[in-house]
Amino acid sequence: MKVVLYQPEIPQNTGTIGRLCVATETPLYLVRPLGFHLDEKAIRRSGLDYWQHLQYKIVDSLAEIKAENPAARLWFLSTKGTKTYTDVSYAENDILVFGSEGAGLSQEIYQQEQAQLITIPQWGPVRSLNLATAVGITLYEAYRQLK
């Protein structure tokens, strides 16, 4: 498994997700542009002293990730998905892609990857879940299935 944050904006979320990735030994991709600098205090505070153990890579596009992982399936998490994250049978080389906190994924991704869009059900009066919460829910479901 791998996690991708597509143009993340909030350093605390990225720090928390980085810590989650260290805990689960999951590589993390960050797709530019980032809404912060990785040396910001907020990243260090939420990632604590675990950031040094994180396997991460900063890339310019999803195409770069696809080229590095040609056998991987990419699953795009979005409130616009029609299939729930629990309906997917995950494989070890799958990649979970999460959009930015403010804009989500690009229109191009929504159009090109419609069959790979999945969602986390919500029934309360909120627009979306916190990014770090969504990553945790989905990543642990994938590992539950695999392990």
CA–CA distance, 77 with 113 (Å, rounded to integer): 11
CA–CA distance, 29 with 26 (Å, rounded to integer): 10
Percent of the chain with pLDDT over 90: 84
pTM, 2 dp: 0.94
Could you tell me the sign of the dihedral formed by the alpha carbons of 89, 140, 27, 10, in that order?
A: positive
pLDDT in tens, 36-82: 887 767 666 665 678 889 999 999 999 999 999 999 999 999 999 99
pLDDT, residue 38, reads: 78
Q: How many CA atoms lie within 13 A of 64 on its CB side?
A: 11
pLDDT, residue 49, reads: 73
pLDDT, residue 51, reads: 81
CATH number of the domain where residue 118 is located: 3.40.1280.10
pLDDT, residue 46, reads: 62
Q: Among candidates 8, 9, 15, which has minimal Cα distance to 30? A: 8
What total number of domains does the chain contain? Answer: 1
What is the domain extent for residue 7? 2-146
pLDDT, residue 45, reads: 66
Q: Name the band, by pLDDT with cuts 50, 70 and 90, for residue 87.
A: very high
